Amino acid sequence: MRDQTRLRQPLSLVIGLLAIGVVAWLAACRTGSEAPTPSRVAPGDTDGVIAARGLTPDDVYAAVKTYMPTGRKDDYVMFASGGHSGQVFVIGVPSMRLLKEIGVFTPEPWQGWGYSNETRAVLDGGKVRGKSINWGDTHHPALSETAGDYDGRFLFINDKAQSRVAVIDLRDFETKQILNNPLATSDHGGTMVTPDTEWVIEGGQYAAPLGTAYASIEDYDAEYRGLVTFWKFDRGAGRIDPARSFAIELPPYWQDLCDAGKLVSDGWVFCNSFNTERATGGIEDDNPPFEAGASQRDMDYMHVIDLKKAAQLVTDGKAESIEGFQVLSLEVLNENGVLYFLPEPKSPHGVDMTPDGRYMVVSGKLDPHVTVYDFEKVKTAIAAKTFTGKDDYGVPIIDFDAVLEAQVEVGLGPLHTQFDNQGYAYTSLFLDSAVARWSLGGASGELNPEPDWTLVQKTPVHYNVGHLVAAEGDTVSPDGEYLVALNKWSIDRFLTVGPLHPQNFQLLDIGGSGETMKLLYDMPIGNGEPHYVQMIKADKLNVWEVYPEVGWDPIHQKKSENAVALGEEKIVRDGNNVEIFMTAIRSHFNPERVKIKKGDHVVWHITNVENAKDATHGFALPAYDINLSLEPGEATTLEFDADTDGVFTYYCSEFCSALHLEMAGYFLVQP
């Protein structure tokens, strides 16, 4: 019986294949007169492909504009926040290829981020009240600047969820420092930098008692406070210095995005706020929900901050200490004329300085205009005390009409604005799902052939655009050329990958004065929700391809004290402490056998002694939750208690050579 079945199978297979063949042949006959399917276009027949795929001239233009022949490199690099992945994405423009994900707030095993002593120490810098937090909600990356222009040296990023900031060194694209703001539970308007990166700005978000102490929500007005923090950046050390950093106490509004002044407005900082209604929620107690309670007033307050004066007050010892952090109280701010409020319509979100530093552009989420303020007029109003009164916390309110330059009707749900090199601004319209291009007027309008402060054009994007970015579009010298719309979700744009949809980055061509913006590329982001992106000319980056010296400690950017040289491999036991000195080289670890006893404390130093570009090794150790990435020249240390006995094989987790599978060893833990 069994044999017969086996014989019958090939026969039925042949009959089946014949049947499929006949059907296919019939189908081919029927479609013979129609356009050829792509697979039947001869290789090299470009016109045939265009016809077969039904591409329009615009499609072909977009393809030609973004395609990178193999080996050719992108003109621009985007640094995108990774949203609630806690990381940063590095993307080439115009190809929109993902080049790297940088581990920041979230352990990232493939790059060994959070598994070695060195990287764990960086993550531990972001402990919140003694507790390790293994994720973040990154929002606003900020490239370091010199004289208001990107200098390609550092990148900063915030964690909205835990009020933290991180410093990334752009020589090796690795995170070097994470700090928790001890005063706040959340932030949003960070990170932004001042024109020479002396200060990294962290704008607040949800008001709470300073120092994260407890206070009843019934005591909101008296006990809850807003906050903007100025972290002092030490460029030489490549670190923020918390001891020289300070915050300013603010009324319990919800501070949002900030931008630093530049050129004529250098030394000043402008931050939006919403919920100046001081709604405290509580629908369960018949209070209006936040969304209604926080949107009642027609105007909220831009916070106009004299940062130079504030820093001087801190130097003069006028700050108090809360949770060990320097804070200038509202009283000190008011006594010394550091803080002013500027009415801004309506539930504002983005505030963006024009490239010449002359005008602040504000978008009110519930107002179809962008509102443009003249900084010179603001200075005059402050000097002449052209105020309409004070808020409940004693902060002077500048007369709106005295400083207003223009309002441009751009469309529904304006959020963020960037600039190009032709005198245009670009504002994202969340509700319209469009990008508005409008011309700058006033003193900024010189470059511009169009009339002042006028909407020029709107281009639909797909869809719900949040931030947008133009090439170097928030610096003193924007490049124009490319713009990317950061759209929330991507319904109908890509193959469905389940109910959690990717986000969509859309690349637009904005080169050419006054011409129509053209859509060039859709890029799905299948990881977190990137909020903001900055785009830098690629040739401004000076990135190492291998570490400068074998035995390098990337966290401290110098040769490691724990570097292990070839020939110096050893295992040293001192009581229950076992210290392993290991090298990695194609294609072996040395030693290949590590024998210890259960209960030993293990300190394991590994140095990748190769410095060829293609010689990264991994180090995977099962059951102990360890994976390292040892880039060429890198030295690292890991430490753990051997609390599990057994036989464990460590191996190299990067395919480094033909004999990569042989790059392994035995970790023998005796009971």
140 binds, among ligand RUQ, ligand CUA, none (CB under 5 to 8 A by kind): ligand RUQ
CA 657 to CA 8: how far, in whole Å? 47
Q: Which of 415, 461, 594, 602 binds ligand RUQ (CB under 6 A)?
A: 415
Told to check if 466 binds ligand RUQ by CB under 6 A, we report: yes
Q: Residues 133, 122: contact at Cβ < 8 Å?
A: no
| Residue 222 host element (H or E) | helix 220-223
Q: Are strands 339-345 and 325-328 parallel, antiparallel or unpaired?
A: unpaired
Closest CA to 361 of 288, 319, 415: 415
532 binds, among ligand RUQ, ligand CUA, none (CB under 5 to 8 A by kind): ligand RUQ
617 binds, among ligand CUA, ligand RUQ, none (CB under 5 to 8 A by kind): ligand CUA
Size of the site for ligand RUQ (CB under 6 A): 11
| Three-state SS at 46 | helix
The residue (of 471 and 486) whose beta carbon lies closer to ligand RUQ is 486
363 vs 203, 350, 370, CA distance in Å? 17, 6, 5
CA 180 to CA 242: how far, in whole Å? 10
466 binds, among ligand CUA, ligand RUQ, none (CB under 5 to 8 A by kind): ligand RUQ
531 binds, among ligand RUQ, ligand CUA, none (CB under 5 to 8 A by kind): ligand RUQ
318 binds, among ligand RUQ, ligand CUA, none (CB under 5 to 8 A by kind): none
Told to check if 310 binds ligand CUA by CB under 6 A, we report: no
DSSP notation for 517-578: PEEEEEEEE-SS----EEEEEGGG----SS-SSTTEETTTTEE-TT---TT--EEEEETTEE
Q: Which of 228, 436, 663, 669 binds ligand CUA (CB under 6 A)?
A: 663
Q: What φ, ψ does residue 559 adopt, rounded to 5°?
A: -65, 135
Residues 632-661 touching ligand CUA, rule: CB under 6 A, are 652, 654-656, 660
Least distance to ligand RUQ, CB of residue 255, Å? 13
CA 227 to CA 185: how far, in whole Å? 11
CA 582 to CA 571: how far, in whole Å? 8
| Locus of tokens 């191996």 | 651
Q: Which of 153, 303, 358, 531 binds ligand RUQ (CB under 6 A)?
A: 531
Task: Let me know if 173 is exposed, middle or buried by CB neighbors in 10 A (0-12, 13-18, 19+).
Answer: buried
Q: Which of 84, 303, 346, 467 binds ligand RUQ (CB under 6 A)?
A: 467
Q: Which of 164, 349, 437, 605 binds ligand RUQ (CB under 6 A)?
A: 349
Token pair for residue 628? 């390292």
467 binds, among ligand RUQ, ligand CUA, none (CB under 5 to 8 A by kind): ligand RUQ
Least distance to ligand RUQ, CB of residue 178, Å? 19
Size of the site for ligand CUA (CB under 6 A): 7
Q: Residues 412, 438: contact at Cβ < 8 Å?
A: no
Residues 9-28 touching ligand RUQ, rule: CB under 6 A, are none
Q: Which of 139, 171, 232, 437 binds ligand RUQ (CB under 6 A)?
A: 139
CA 435 to CA 363: how far, in whole Å? 13
Least distance to ligand CUA, CB of residue 590, Å? 12
Told to check if 582 binds ligand CUA by CB under 6 A, we report: no
Q: Which of 190, 425, 617, 621 binds ligand CUA (CB under 6 A)?
A: 617
605 binds, among ligand RUQ, ligand CUA, none (CB under 5 to 8 A by kind): none
505-509 CB contacts, 8 Å cutoff, 24+ apart: 505/80, 505/91, 505/96, 505/530, 505/533, 506/461, 506/462, 507/66, 507/93, 507/94, 507/96, 507/482, 507/483, 508/435, 508/459, 508/461, 508/482, 508/483, 508/484, 509/62, 509/65, 509/481, 509/482, 509/483
349 binds, among ligand RUQ, ligand CUA, none (CB under 5 to 8 A by kind): ligand RUQ
Residues 266-295 touching ligand CUA, rule: CB under 6 A, are none
Q: Tell me, what amino acid is at 357? A: G
Q: Which of 532, 552, 581, 624 binds ligand RUQ (CB under 6 A)?
A: 532
Binding site for ligand CUA (CB under 6 A): 617, 652, 654-656, 660, 663
Binding site for ligand RUQ (CB under 6 A): 139-140, 188, 257, 349, 415-416, 466-467, 531-532
